[in-house]
Structure 1
Amino acid sequence: MAQRHVKIRSKVGLHARPAALFVQAAARAPMDVTVAKLGGNPVNAKSILAVLGMDARHGEEIVITAEGESADQVLDELEAAVNVEAGDA
């Protein structure tokens, strides 16, 4: 199992466009992917409602977990999606 701690740099947090990009990237992964606020319960990273429900804000740390052969590559893509600014996409 691969796990990555990511600090949210996006000014809007993991909401709106960054959340949609994050969920789309997770949905392309051929494995289960979860995300949680540091110390919180993990949720399905492929569910926009679950990701938005975390209410992850700018400056907070999240933990992304994936298990499988290409888990590190998936985590790289998800980390990049977390920190996309609204005007970049």
Structure 2
Amino acid sequence: MPSTIVVVGSAVGLHARPATIIAEAVSDSGIDVTIGLEGGEPVDAGSALMIMTLGAEKGASVVVTADDQGTLDAIVTLVAQDLDAE
């Protein structure tokens, strides 16, 4: 499975709003995706609650893994963005 290390871009880290946006994108893709702090245990990226349990703050490095490169690229792009900006 391909994986990429990405830096969290959201000002509040991977908390409620960013986690929900990421989880919805994963669910919509129908592809298995995991996310975890670099060196930590990965969680199901299709669950906002599981993403929030990581406690990933802005600037944290996380590893995103997916069964599909296109889905991986899309989720990595989301993680790197400030998803709290309106």
Aligned to 2:58: 58
Aligned length: 85
Are residues 1:78 and 2:84 paired? no
Extract structure 1 runs of 4+ deviating beyond 4 A. Answer: none
Listed as ranges, the matches of 1:29-48 within 5 Å are: 29-48=29-48
CA RMSD of aligned residues (A): 1.2
Q: Report Cα offsets for 1:28-87 as digits up to 9, x if no partner.
A: 2222111110000011111111111111101100001011xxx12111211222223312
Which residue of structure 2 aligns with residue 4 of structure 1? 4
What is the TM-score of this pair, normalised by structure 1?
A: 0.86
Contact 2:31 2:71 in 1 (8 A): no
- What is the TM-score normalised by the length of structure 2? 0.89
Unaligned stretches of 5+ residues in structure 2:
none
Q: Which runs of 5+ in 1 are unaligned?
A: none
Q: Relative to structure 2, which stretch is displaced further, 78-87 or 20-29?
A: 78-87
SS at match of 1:84: coil
Aligned residue number for residue 49 of structure 2 = 49
- 1:16 equivalent to 2:13? Answer no
Counterpart Cα distance in 1 of 2:14 and 2:7: 11
- 1:20 counterpart letter in structure 2: T
More moved, 72-81 vs 3-12 = 72-81
